[in-house]
Structure 1
Amino acid sequence: MLEILDNLDMLSRPHLDLTTVEMGGITLGASTARIPRRSIIDAQSSVVTRYHSGAGVDREYYDADGRRLTLDEVVDHASRSEGFLYCADKLTYKVRTGAVVGFTIYGPHLSYFDHLTSYEEFLTAFSRPDRVREDEAYGDLMGFDNYYWGAHKYVRWDAWDHRVSLINLGSFEGNAGP
């Protein structure tokens, strides 16, 4: 297995066999139990109907009845059903019915691509995507959402900061084609 974090250049490939890679030592299809609990700092699951977080505030999760949930309860529910497990190292695992089905990479890991300072340079490095969607808000170009179906990959180009800001691999909407 190739560790993505040790081979970040592989993320620019338009075709990538996801059965040959791992992220943080976790492969797609691996049991969610393989993700170290101590590294999980947040979780998203359908059991959570209200969420509270902020600077200097502990995360709070509440279910539909208003009962406060622990992080462990939310992680357990996400792992059994569907959701996201956010780790302290700026890595996120998309999970479904006890298995890892997707990876999200953001934050300092993507500084590897800081040498790309324009969307044209991005396209040269990553190649033309199979699908691109311009993201606009109030008439301003916010970024480009780039989908590479051969790699089951989504790459966000931030037009404001001129950088790669997010990469999703695996089972995410749009990653496998129309």
Structure 2
Amino acid sequence: MIEILENLDLLCRPNLDLAGVKVNGIALGAPAATIPRQQIVGGLSSIIARYRGGTNIESEYYDTDGRSLPLDEVVEDVVRSDGFLYGADKVNYKVRAGAVVGFAISGVHLSHFAHLTSYEEFLAAFGRPDRMHENEAYGDLMSYETYYWGARKHVTWDAWEDRVSFINLGDFEGNSGP
């Protein structure tokens, strides 16, 4: 298996075979319990009724009765069922039925693509997407959301900062076609 984080250029492939890769040592279909706990800094689970957190604010989770949920309890619920696990290194994991079904990569990993300084350069490197959506707010173009169905991949090109800002792989809405 090829480690994506050691071969980031693979993310440019419009037909990347996800069966032959791993991210942070984890392959699609792997049990979520195999994700090293020391890497997990947050989670999203159906047991969470209320959440408080943000930049420089420690996350707090609460159930429907208002009981505080420790992160370990949230992680355990995700590992047994469905949800998201958020990594300190900006690699996140989508989990369904206790198995990893998707990855989301952001942050420092994507500085690998810093040499791309325009959307045209991005398209030259990543290829023409199968689907593209312009994300606008108040009349301003914020990003291009590009989908590559052969790789089950979604890449966000930040139009304000002219950079790749987000890549997800695997079982996410839109990644496999209409």
Whole-Å separation in 1 of the counterparts to 2:176 and 2:150: 7
Partner of 1:102: 102
Partner of 2:65: 65
Counterpart check, 1:176 vs 2:176 = yes
Whole-Å separation in 1 of the counterparts to 2:13 and 2:54: 36
Whole-Å separation in 2 of the counterparts to 1:57 and 1:90: 17
| C-alpha distance 58-148 of structure 1, shift in aligned 2 (>3 A) | same
Partner of 1:32: 32
Partner of 1:145: 145
Alignment of structure 1 residues 7-156 onto 2, 5 Å: 7-156=7-156
Structure 1: which 4+ aligned runs deviate by more than 2 Å? 54-58
Secondary structure of 2:79's counterpart equals: helix
Please report how far the alpha carbon of residue 77 of structure 1 lies from its aligned counterpart in structure 2 after TM superposition. Answer: 1.3
Please report how far the alpha carbon of residue 150 of structure 1 lies from its aligned counterpart in structure 2 after TM superposition. Answer: 0.1
Whole-Å separation in 1 of the counterparts to 2:44 and 2:69: 12
Structure 1 letter corresponding to 2:73: E
After superposition, the C-alpha distances for 1:83-124 in whole angstroms (9 at most, x for unaligned) are 110111111011111100001110000000000000000000
Whole-Å separation in 1 of the counterparts to 2:157 and 2:55: 27
Partner of 2:3: 3
Secondary structure of 1:19's counterpart equals: helix
TM-score (norm 1): 0.97
Structure 1 letter corresponding to 2:177: G
Please report how far the alpha carbon of residue 17 of structure 1 lies from its aligned counterpart in structure 2 after TM superposition. Answer: 0.7
Structure 1 letter corresponding to 2:77: H
Whole-Å separation in 2 of the counterparts to 1:55 and 1:5: 25
Structure 2 letter corresponding to 1:135: N
| C-alpha distance 123-55 of structure 1, shift in aligned 2 (>3 A) | closer
Counting aligned pairs with the same residue, the percent is 64
Structure 1 letter corresponding to 2:64: A
Whole-Å separation in 2 of the counterparts to 1:6 and 1:164: 17
Partner of 2:164: 164
Secondary structure of 1:112's counterpart equals: helix
Number of equivalent positions: 178
Q: Which runs of 5+ in 2 are unaligned?
A: none
Secondary structure of 2:174's counterpart equals: coil
Please report how far the alpha carbon of residue 80 of structure 1 lies from its aligned counterpart in structure 2 after TM superposition. Answer: 2.0
Secondary structure of 2:75's counterpart equals: helix
Secondary structure of 2:115's counterpart equals: coil
Secondary structure of 1:123's counterpart equals: helix
Whole-Å separation in 1 of the counterparts to 2:144 and 2:14: 16
Structure 2 letter corresponding to 1:22: K
Whole-Å separation in 1 of the counterparts to 2:92 and 2:68: 23
